[in-house]
Every structure is written in structure tokens, then in C-alpha cells.
Structure 1
């Protein structure tokens, strides 16, 4: 969304949240943890950190972590060049270390082992997750005690793995991406096979991933993936118990050599025979509300067998996977509701003799970006045709609902007022704050009429929206920049301007939302120039083909949804056609 009011970006940033609330993710780590922003200020802290540091969260939040906590072995303050943790922070890469000291609330020193990794803090920029524990003691939770850990990993490597798992899995809202990251984290570090079975929302079991690690090369075995038999209610077999959320367990080929008690046991026997796994560890994937599936680690070429001491680490990883998958499913469910709502609310186009019209709505590929883009076209009471395209601030279900409110109000005002577009938008702006939930929005409202001599006249007003693009049939393209004014919802009362132009025969008028021209790392002018260039090159195409090819060529690698309305006038105006036939 563009316009002379710069608050749009601030509004969106203030509404943006990290994919998972930091507190929930940090508490799951089971060691001291806090998140800092790009300046090193503490944004979130868990209860383990409060306990280890002897400080309340309120005394930590907003403070510079280096100035508040980092000390030398005699308790002296450290410069940033003397502090290993601070130097690693500035490098911006995952790192780990020890022999550092944190200042506790009562003045004593806490020797710590620490690990840091980048952490997504949503619209507030890039952050860093710091995980630490007292150097003289093991962490107090999360199955990280030496006697309960995979032998090939040190205590600190396990701590780093769990911290990285939390960061990687909670920074995506896509289920497939979360599974890809999960597998990449555990292979080949813990095993050479990873299997993920998920319980769908219809209570069916789906083997979502069977992946083999050959060194650092990961290979999916699609022949072993797909639908699975239902979970038996009483089966004592390891995978069946895990899928019921009963317990974690160890398994091997011998586990499934007897007579199978269920279809799942048959599939497990096939898995062991096909992969050559000689030792497996299986843990439930749980959310706070339900069992979501099971995670299996298998060793075939990797030496050594899993033991009971390995299960707590696997359970911890599976618990973090459950938190991420549940969050992704909830968000994708909200996205589906918003998409369905939005598609049902977007109108059918009217039939206007002499004019061609096509419309397109493309939701953003990113699950977090469904929202308030819309288009509309309808016949007015005096026979003219109204065209509109707009964008309500926000990318969520609330924005989609606000879009419906705004569109319906615009229709009512446009039908009843029978005035110029500027007057209709002025009335809409007066009403938007007191009677809708919309905070801010942009909009282009146009009115198309056929004159007595067969020409088509366009009048429009622009409330902070990207300008319409007019393309002649000869490939001349220019933006209609007149009639521009403030976006809606600012509270500023001002007269809005109208602009008018006679549409050339065979021209194409393009109304669109900012998702078509805005892309990270590029200026708005870059996007507008790109749109104009490709629209001019496609001017000779039939209108549906013009629209589809333009979207394919121009649309950025989607961070936003796109609404587009294209109108084409007759190749020859009716007045000229009549005269040529007389």
C-alpha cells in the first residue's frame, strides 16, 4: 500500500507478531534463555533465566544485556572487545562458548556455558536467542543430564541442538517447511533415518516424511510415504503407543517379526526391511492440546543402538516439533478461513456492453499475508459503471472482514449519491472511523460512462493508492497520477480531487493493489516501471491473456496478496463505427 501518509508501515509493524509468542517457546527450552534485538536489548526472558540470574523479568526487559549481565572473572565490567559473547553477537552467526560470567541480581557471579543463534522477532527486525546454564551444573530440565543423553553429543552440543530446534521450528508457519527443518536438524547428527508420521485433522495417519542421510545428503523416500492404517486402540507396539501419546519407546527389526496386530505393524515391518534400520527410537509429537503424530529416529549404517537414556532428548525435540506444527496448523486454518471468506466476498463482474473486464485475486504464498485486498465493479443508478480497487491495512481475518465492510459501504454511497467519485470517497472517509473496524485503507474509485458520440469517459479519485495504468493498443503506457489524495482513516478532513480522461479506443485500464509492484530490496518506482514495461509489451494480447501473462511476469515472489481489475474499451469507438458504415 502506498500513499502520502507514512504511517502504513508503522501500523503493519505494530500489528505484526513473531510466528510464536516468545514466552511459550523460551519456556520449552528448559535452560536459561532470553531474546535480544539488534541493539542487544532484552525483549523476552524465560523463568529459568530469572531463577539462574536472581532477577525478575521486569528487571531484565528493555535492558542492554551486555551492560547488565556480562562480567569478567573478578566481576569487572567488560568492553565489547573483551567479551566473547558480545563479539559472537555482533558476528550474527550461531556460536557457543564458556568461561563467561553473568552478574546475578544480588551481586554474585554466575559462570556460564552459552549458545547464541539468530531468532525471528517478526516485524521488529532480526533478533538473537541466548541460551545458557551454570557451568558447574547441568541444566535443570529437558532431559539434558549426562546420564540421559546420546553418547555422541556433549552436554553443550545437546543444549545447542535444542536451542537451534526451537529457533528453526518456531520461525515458520508452514507445516512442510517445519518438517524439512526438523529432519535437517536431526540428520545425520543423531541418526541416518528420520520418519515423521502425522495425524491429520480427520484423525487419519499420514507418513509425511521418510528421509535418509548419506553424509550431508538427505534423500526423501516417497515410496515409503503416504497414508497409513488407523491407530489401533489397544496395541502395545511402539509406534501405535506413540501415536496415542502413551509413551516413547525403542524398536528394532525383531519388534515387528511376529504376527502383526494391526496394519500399522505391517507398515513398520516394511519400513525396517526396506531401510535396514537396526535400531530405532520413537517419541510422540504432542501439542498442548493433542497428539499430532510421532517422530522416529533410525540407525542403519550409523553404528550403535539407541538406549533408554536417549529418549529424553528425542522427546524434547518432538515436543518442540509439536509446538511448531500446532502453531502452523492453527495459522493455516485461519488462512483458509480468510481465503474462503475473501473469495466469497469478491463480486461477480457486471456485463457492460462495449467494455471487456477481467479480474484476478491471488492470495500471498506466505501464510501470514492473507487479508484486505479487493476489487469491485457495478452498475450505478444512472447507468454509469463504477470501478474500484482497494487495500485495507492488515494481513489477517480482521482485514478481510474490514474489506467487506468498506466495499459494501462504498457500494451504498456510490448508488445513492450519484455524485463525482471524490464526493463519494469523502463521505466514505467520514464514516470509516465511527462505524467500521477499519483503521486505514487505500482506494481508487472510478466512474466510466459512454458519451453520446461513442467515446468512453473515465473519472476517478485516488485515496493513497498506486495510480491506475492506462495502456493504448499501440503499446503506449502511462500512469494516471492526477486526482491523488490522502488514504482513508487518517482523521484529516480535506477536499478530494477528481480527474477525467477520455479513454482511447482499444486501450486497457489497469487497477491493482500494491502486492503487484512492491518487493523487498526494490523501490516502488522499480515496481511501477516494471509493470508499465510489461503491460506495454502485452498490449496486443486478448484481455484474459494480457492479465494472466502480466501477473506471471510482474508479480514479485509474493509477500502480499494481489487484486487486479483490467478494463478494455472497444477497438473503435461507436461514433467512428457508425460514420464509417454510413
Structure 2
């Protein structure tokens, strides 16, 4: 017998039918089951005797939940009607135990000799693969949720380090948590008084008016309270509050205030986490969900606890920075100089620290009276923006003061001696300085005698708004010539100052920044100074800083305003300016000599410097 004949034997065909790894049903033209192989019996968990003669669709075809599947939508029934094969993967069969099993299937017409066409239905148990797909989908959903939370934590971390205004940061934190992790949030912080609390921020997108109304002072934390809220406020870790705890918790005033917030905003579940710094608790963050949202799980409580710790560390850093800033500012103001008011001359000074630094650096100004009666004005900048730079600044300033007082010499010689002193007696790095003497007699005219060591040139602003930089007398930075044995010098310059004009000394932070080249900044300075030429010298400095808006570096300003010609001269009864000039120096400091003469009369009657080297006064007096 050949292979073809053997294949047609009923025994062979039966062996194939029974041994096939897929389930097989055969049905007649009415859809009644006429045969089922062992794998089909195994998958649907029904005895073959129970299934033979039964309508295959009515007996087995179901929805996933076990409910009947509409016959008119059954694609296997359609094979009987249309005679064309079909296949699918989103179908379920009813097992003998009442459960359903997902299948992947194919159906084709069954042609039996002498009978109408039936249908053969071949299928596989798809439950293992279905479970794997569902598990993969669950893993993907969990991964997406984790990614979303990591993104949220990353965004919150960015917010927490974006500003030192901690009130603003905590308000933004509460907003970021809604709706990802909460329906509404609240932040309660200690005020600094023992146990006193304040509800700093409440955020609810559904009821913002009520949320804002709930902000304000809170009852203090009871000393012996053991409530969950008190535990969080003492830093014992996150606590989860359910509806029962919210409704029947302790009756302390603080717990009652917390419960009232839930009553007004609606809440069934909440997590309260401490804002925990390195050594202290700053308050608590409450994240709550309403009745239509799921209760908090352990993983969400852990995320919120991590956010609370990050916020606490941010508050800790802001507090430490504020303390450092206060110390630095106090030191800086002790280093800055109170200004003398000499006769009818007016001076004003300003100091603005770098925004990113601890409010201290190497920029300084100085002004004091010399033994010969002339007034000095100094603007300088030592390399650096820290406490060491400030210490070097004080060192250089004091050396210059001592040299200027002790040596009645031209500014150029004073500068050369200062360069040598820095090189041989100090570890101060390079510095730029303008050192100037204001010379002249009472009533004018006035002369500026100055030297410039690598510093931006002073700006002369006339009363009618003309401006020009005093660019003569420009020499090298201090700390370079002696160190490198360059043998360079600093030339003197002298210029007569028009009455009612302003001379502005400044540091480079006023005109230069990362976003603005120095040439552009100097052009802007001329334009703004010209527009402010007739303002009072105090307003002149304030408005100039406002308009220039320096960023990224320390800025020191020192402005001199000349009086009208003849003011204070013999026969003129115009009173000189009274009181102190405004300056950034500490309020408990006074200008040199104030203790002897009285703070309001410092140098008012002081003589002017020796003007024998000046041109004749007769023809050179400028008009007022």
C-alpha cells in the first residue's frame, strides 16, 4: 500500500484528529457538534458526550464575562451561511466550570459527501498569552506611572532650588501636586515662635476661593498631643489619614482646624508628611483626595514623604543662606565707608551685591578728608566675590588710606606706593582703583586730580546733560607692575569741574554682564546719566541703578555733585547741606572726624587743598 492510500485510511485520519495539539470541533450544517478531539475537550473542560448534538454557538460562545454572545455577530455561524473561511483572536468559550477561556481560532466549511456543508472549528487556548499580554500591559502602566512620578519629583526638585523665596516655592509645590497626587494640598509651617503655626498655602483647583480663605494662623501644636497630625509635625514620618480618623480624631484646636479644612474642601483620604530639614521640622505638607478618588497607597505615601524631605532640605538651605547673607551683609556694611559732606559738595554712594553671591565681595568706595584740606574719592575692585575678597578689599583700602594721609604727594605716586605695598606686604590679588582728590577753594572753582589703575573711567555729567568719560591717566592694574617688574607708572590727570556737574565713580558690574558687553553698557550709562543730570544726587544714584539694572556682579557707585559757582564763598549765605549723606555703610558708623566735629557739621568749614599749582582763578572761573 502506497503512502497516498495509507493517508486515506480512517485510522490514520482519526489518529491525526485525536493527536492534534489544537482543539477541533466539527459541526453539521445546523451548527450542531458532531465531533470533538481530546484537546478541545481539555480546553473547554466538558465531556464529549455532553457536547455532541448541541448547538456549538449556544453551548460555547460567550463574552469575556460569561454573558451570551449575539448569534447574529458570530463569525463561525457566518461560515455556515456564507461558506467562506474566517479567523480571529478576540473570542471566548464557556468552560464546564462556568469560567471563560480566551482563544485564537480559525473556521472553514466542512464538506461531507452527500450532506450539506458543515463547519470545522480549530482553536488554541490563548489564556497564557493573554495573561502575559495583560501582565505586560500592567508593567507598562506601572512604568508609565513611575515615569510620571519621577518626572513630577524632578520638576518639584527644580522648583525647590529655583528660588530662595521659600513662601513662593511652597505655593508652587502645592500647585504641582494637583491633580497628579492630590485633589488639594495644604502647607503648614512653624512661624519661628515656639509651637506657633501658620497655614501658608492651600491649593484646590475645584474651589480656589475657599482654599485661599483657609490660609492664615493656626492654633499652636499641643505639647502632649499624640494625634497623627502631631506626630507628623514632630517629624515622626508620614501619616495616612482615612475618613474615620478625619471624622473622629482628637479634639485639640489644631486637629479641629485641620478637620475643618477637610470638611470645607472635601476629603476621604490624606497623607501628611513632615517638611524635615537636617536638624529640624519646618512644618507639614498635606495632600488629600476627595470621595471620588482612590485612597492613598503605600507607594504614594512614600513619594509624598520624599517630596516633603526635599522641601524641608530646600527650606533648610534657604534658612542657612539667609543667615550667611545676614552675616555677610553686616560685615560688608561695616567695611563700607560713611560719607563726609564737605562744605557745599554733595556725595552719595550705593552698593548692590551680586545676586548669586552671599552679598559680599571685593568692590568698594571710599571718601575722606586729607590733612591739606582736600577731599579724596576712591572706587576700587579686588578680584573675587566672597569673604576672602572682602578681606583683601579692606586690606587694600586701609593701605591706600594710610598712604594718602601720610604722603602729601600726587595721586600717581600714591598709586605706585600702593602697588609696591600690595606686592610686598599683602597676599591680595590684583585690583583696579581710581584715586581722586577734589581740590579748590570755598565757592569754586573745583578741580579733579586723579589717577586710574586699570579701572573703568569716571563719568562727568554736566548740569545740562552732556556726558563724557574722563579717560586720561589710565595705567595698569595694581599688583601687576611690581610683581612682573614691568617698571610701569600711573600718570596724573587734572581737570576743572563745571558747577552743578556730577562726577560718577563706579565698578564694572554696573556696565558689564554676561548678556551685555561693556561698550554697550557704557553707552547706556551715558544716556541714562544725561537724562538724570538735574536730579538730586541721591535720586540720581537710585534711578541710575534702577535703569541700568545690573546683573551677576557686585556694583559700587560713588557720586559727587558740585554746587553752583560761588556757593559758600565770602559774602554768600547759602547754607551747606545738612545731615548725613545716604550710604550703604552701617548706621552705627560715622565719617572720619565726626566724633570731634559733630555728625551734622563734618568738614563743613574745612579748608580746601593747596591750589598754588592751579591756573589763575581770575579768567578761569566758569559761569554758573
TM-score interval for Structure 1 and Structure 2 normalised by the shorter chain: 0.5 to 0.7
Contact 1:505 / 1:573 at 8 angstroms: preserved in 2?
no
For the residue of structure 1 that corresponds to 2:435, the secondary structure is strand
Who is 1:190 aligned against?
Answer: 181
Task: Tell me, yes or no, if structure 1 residue 350 matches structure 2 residue 329.
Answer: no
1:237 is aligned, of 227, 248, 254, to: 227
Contact 2:362 / 2:385 at 8 angstroms: preserved in 1?
yes
Alpha-carbon distance in 2 for matches of 1:330, 1:359: 29
Alpha-carbon distance in 2 for matches of 1:301, 1:484: 76
Q: How does 1:423-502 map to 2 (within 5 A)?
A: 423-432=413-422, 435-436=425-426, 438-451=428-441, 454-490=444-480, 491-493=483-485, 494-502=488-496
For the residue of structure 1 that corresponds to 2:342, the secondary structure is coil
For the residue of structure 1 that corresponds to 2:464, the secondary structure is coil
Alpha-carbon distance in 2 for matches of 1:296, 1:432: 58
Contact 1:374 / 1:389 at 8 angstroms: preserved in 2?
yes
Who is 1:537 aligned against?
Answer: 531
Who is 2:498 aligned against?
Answer: 504
1:565 is aligned, of 548, 558, 561, to: 558
Shift of 1:249: 0.4
Q: How does 1:156-555 map to 2 (within 5 A)?
A: 156-170=147-161, 172-176=163-167, 178-200=169-191, 203=194, 205-207=196-198, 209-214=200-205, 221-251=211-241, 254-255=244-245, 257-258=247-248, 261-300=251-290, 303-366=293-356, 368=358, 370-432=360-422, 435-436=425-426, 438-451=428-441, 454-490=444-480, 491-493=483-485, 494-555=488-549
Q: Aligned in 2, Cα 1:198/1:574: closer, same or farther, shift over 3 Å?
A: closer
Contact 1:235 / 1:261 at 8 angstroms: preserved in 2?
no
Alpha-carbon distance in 1 for matches of 2:505, 2:152: 49
Q: How does 1:37-52 map to 2 (within 5 A)?
A: none
Who is 1:90 aligned against?
Answer: none
Unaligned runs of 5+ in 1: 1-146
Shift of 1:435: 4.8
Q: How does 1:73-88 map to 2 (within 5 A)?
A: none
Contact 2:170 / 2:201 at 8 angstroms: preserved in 1?
no
Q: Aligned in 2, Cα 1:152/1:399: closer, same or farther, shift over 3 Å?
A: same
Q: Aligned in 2, Cα 1:439/1:166: closer, same or farther, shift over 3 Å?
A: farther
Shift of 1:492: 3.8
Q: Give deviations 1:16-48, integer Å, cap 9, x for gaps.
A: xxxxxxxxxxxxxxxxxxxxxxxxxxxxxxxxx
Alpha-carbon distance in 2 for matches of 1:453, 1:212: 66
Q: Aligned in 2, Cα 1:388/1:188: closer, same or farther, shift over 3 Å?
A: farther
Shift of 1:220: 10
Who is 2:600 aligned against?
Answer: none
Q: Give deviations 1:24-76, integer Å, cap 9, x for gaps.
A: xxxxxxxxxxxxxxxxxxxxxxxxxxxxxxxxxxxxxxxxxxxxxxxxxxxxx
Alpha-carbon distance in 2 for matches of 1:436, 1:477: 38
Contact 1:370 / 1:560 at 8 angstroms: preserved in 2?
no
Q: Give deviations 1:164-206, integer Å, cap 9, x for gaps.
A: 4444434544434543553354233211322222335555554
Larger Rg: 2
Shift of 1:433: 5.4
Q: Aligned in 2, Cα 1:412/1:220: closer, same or farther, shift over 3 Å?
A: farther
Alpha-carbon distance in 2 for matches of 1:207, 1:528: 48
Contact 2:174 / 2:201 at 8 angstroms: preserved in 1?
no
Contact 1:191 / 1:302 at 8 angstroms: preserved in 2?
no
Unaligned runs of 5+ in 2: 1-137, 572-617
Greater mean alpha carbon deviation, residues 510-519 or residues 562-571:
510-519
Alpha-carbon distance in 2 for matches of 1:259, 1:183: 25
Contact 1:469 / 1:480 at 8 angstroms: preserved in 2?
yes
Q: Aligned in 2, Cα 1:165/1:436: closer, same or farther, shift over 3 Å?
A: farther
Alpha-carbon distance in 2 for matches of 1:255, 1:518: 60
Alpha-carbon distance in 2 for matches of 1:348, 1:430: 28
For the residue of structure 2 that corresponds to 1:358, the secondary structure is strand
Q: Aligned in 2, Cα 1:448/1:572: closer, same or farther, shift over 3 Å?
A: same
TM-score by length of 1: 0.66
Contact 2:505 / 2:557 at 8 angstroms: preserved in 1?
yes
Contact 1:178 / 1:325 at 8 angstroms: preserved in 2?
no
Alpha-carbon distance in 2 for matches of 1:174, 1:436: 39
What is the total number of aligned residue pairs between the two structures? Answer: 431
Q: Aligned in 2, Cα 1:564/1:237: closer, same or farther, shift over 3 Å?
A: same
Shift of 1:419: 1.9
TM-score by length of 2: 0.62
Q: Give deviations 1:243-293, integer Å, cap 9, x for gaps.
A: 211121012565354585544223313322333333221111222333232
Contact 2:227 / 2:249 at 8 angstroms: preserved in 1?
no
Q: Give deviations 1:301-328, integer Å, cap 9, x for gaps.
A: 8722223342111111122222222222
CA RMSD of aligned residues (A): 3.4
Q: Aligned in 2, Cα 1:203/1:363: closer, same or farther, shift over 3 Å?
A: farther
Shift of 1:456: 0.9
